[in-house]
């Protein structure tokens, strides 16, 4: 997001929060329009229209699958459907208005869009009229979302999709820049959260406007945090009162986020490590400088966007969950992952790590405890790495953190069975704490080599050069 876009969205959030009636519908329209507006420009240009539209269709379909039969035909749901239809139609009509600064230059023909919407609406209406639950569709929807997420995260699959798109348009594949489905990683995880909670019987009954607002809420759409639907709809239906301290808090978070992102992070980007700088650096000292700069840059960039999202959410009357809690000041990997991208880590803990460990413990041939912990932590962290992209580098980054978590777990178990000794004294505890912070920061920082460099061999050479081996 640019500063101009953030300012416009802040004004929209304030106006939404001031509304006494129809607030949910207006927020729905603003979030849907923002989704189209923020979608990055790409070739073929029509994808700038179809990706947000597909997000809306997927969200409505997921609501249908997860909703209770008795609420599907409520009048409020028809109002939300009308708002979404109106937004899609308005954006498509831009082919006649040509508001190029806000929406894509090209949009599909209105006949095609109407045909797609009518076919989708007919399918939704037919399923809704059955007035029963769809347990088999819950499983199918989870599988479809996971497959879509995998395809969008695999460079080879994306290249193949680009070739298909080029063939359809009669162009060479080289003319197609790439595929960028803005916010889909977060959208998919919000949808998976509701689908799996519905299957477990934990999902509350929600209206269509509540559900879609949760999934595409514009402050958190592009970069999180990943809220829980039951918490979000409480704020949606009972927005936070905006007294003086509320305005001050929202302004503080917005200002801090803007400063972190556009001053600190963008300033560090001038000399932070990247694949272009690495071959030109020969000394270990300068390589450390570049790596430190990247480590700080990624924190200030990501936490800056989170502060902006929380500030915008506060202006709209919604208190989004925190995503960072001084992660580089934590003394071990376990505490780091309780403070870095917290909502993503909590999502994986709830829907992968905990079910996996329960299944392994309850199996007839239960693994030894250390091996169980190693497998569960490594698998979880590898998946967190692959969530960023299915590449060898992200795999190794996840494995790096999985190994760090396991080593810390074993160290903690070993210390627990030993006398406290000097470590329990004030000086000993302080030494262990601050030395742990230094060691953990460098462990995390070294791991960024696998995260940021596209070639694992380049990352390995950087690690060797950092310690003067190469």
Which residues, at least 6 apart from 281, have a Cβ–Cβ distance to it below 8 Å?
287, 290, 465
User: What is residue 352's DSSP assignment?
Assistant: I
> ∠ CA 449-454-457 to the nearest 5 degrees?
70
CA dihedral sign of residues 55, 59, 61, 62: positive
pLDDT digits (tens, 9 = 90+) for 144-169: 999 999 988 886 776 776 677 666 65
pLDDT digits (tens, 9 = 90+) for 236-247: 988 777 788 889
CA–CA gap between residue 83 and residue 415 (Å, rounded): 59
SS (H, E, C) 77-114: HHHHHHHHHHHHHHHHCHHHHCCCCCCCCCCCCHHHHH
Q: Which of 102, 149, 95 is nearest to 4 (CA)?
A: 102
The structure tokens 């416009």 sit at 8
pLDDT digits (tens, 9 = 90+) for 178-197: 578 899 999 999 999 999 99
The structure tokens 């919604």 sit at 318
Using DSSP's 3-state secondary structure scheme, residue 335 falls into helix
Instruction: Please spell the DSSP secondary structure of 168-230, one letter per residue.
Output: HHT--GGG------TTHHHHHHHHHHHHHHHHTT-PPP--HHHHHHHHH-GGGTTT-----HH
* pTM exceeds 0.75, yes or no: yes
pLDDT digits (tens, 9 = 90+) for 300-338: 999 999 999 999 999 999 999 999 999 999 999 999 999
């Amino acid at each position: 997001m640019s500063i101009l876009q953030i300012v416009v969205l802040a004004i929209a959030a304030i106006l939404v929060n001031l509304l006494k009636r129809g607030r949910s519908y207006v927020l729905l329209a603003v979030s849907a329009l923002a989704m189209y507006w923020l979608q990055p420009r790409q070739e073929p240009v029509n994808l700038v229209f179809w990706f947000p539209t597909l997000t809306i269709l997927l969200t409505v379909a997921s609501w249908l699958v997860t909703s209770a039969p008795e609420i599907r035909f409520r009048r409020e749901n028809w109002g939300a459907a009308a708002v979404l239809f109106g937004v899609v139609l308005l954006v498509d009509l831009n082919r006649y208005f040509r508001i190029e600064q806000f929406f894509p230059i090209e949009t599909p023909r209105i006949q095609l869009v109407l045909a797609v919407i009518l076919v989708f609406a007919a399918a939704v209406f037919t399923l809704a009229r059955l007035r029963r639950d769809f347990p088999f569709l819950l499983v199918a929807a989870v599988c479809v979302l996971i497959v879509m997420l995998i395809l969008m995260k695999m460079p080879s699959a994306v290249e193949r999709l680009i070739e298909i798109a080029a063939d359809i348009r009669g162009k060479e594949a080289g003319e197609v820049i790439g595929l960028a489905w803005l916010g889909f990683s977060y959208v998919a995880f919000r949808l998976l959260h509701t689908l799996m909670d519905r299957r477990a019987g934990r999902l509350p009954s929600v209206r269509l406007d509540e559900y879609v607002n949760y999934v595409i809420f514009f402050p958190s759409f592009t970069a999180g945090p990943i809220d829980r639907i039951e918490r979000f709809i409480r704020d949606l239906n009972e927005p936070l009162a905006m007294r003086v301290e509320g305005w001050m808090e929202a302004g503080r978070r917005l200002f801090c986020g803007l400063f972190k992102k556009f001053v600190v992070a963008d300033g560090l980007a001038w000399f932070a490590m990247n694949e272009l700088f690495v071959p030109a650096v020969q000394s270990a000292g300068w390589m450390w400088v570049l790596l430190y700069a990247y480590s700080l840059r990624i924190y200030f960039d990501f936490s800056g966007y989170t502060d902006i999202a929380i500030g915008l959410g506060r202006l709209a009357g919604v208190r989004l969950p925190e995503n960072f809690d001084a992660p580089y000041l934590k003394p071990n990997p376990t505490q780091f992952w309780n403070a870095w991208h917290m909502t993503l880590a909590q999502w994986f803990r709830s829907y992968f790590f905990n079910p996996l460990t329960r299944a392994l413990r309850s199996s007839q041939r239960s693994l030894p405890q250390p091996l169980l912990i190693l497998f569960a932590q490594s698998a979880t962290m590898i998946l967190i790495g692959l969530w960023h992209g299915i590449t060898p580098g992200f795999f190794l980054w996840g494995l790096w953190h999985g190994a760090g978590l396991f080593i810390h777990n074993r160290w903690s178990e070993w210390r627990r069975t030993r006398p406290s000794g000097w470590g329990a004294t004030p000086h000993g505890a302080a030494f262990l704490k601050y030395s742990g912070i230094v060691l953990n920061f460098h462990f995390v920082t070294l791991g960024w080599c696998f995260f940021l460099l596209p070639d694992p061999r380049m990352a390995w050479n950087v690690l060797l050069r950092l310690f003067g081996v190469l």
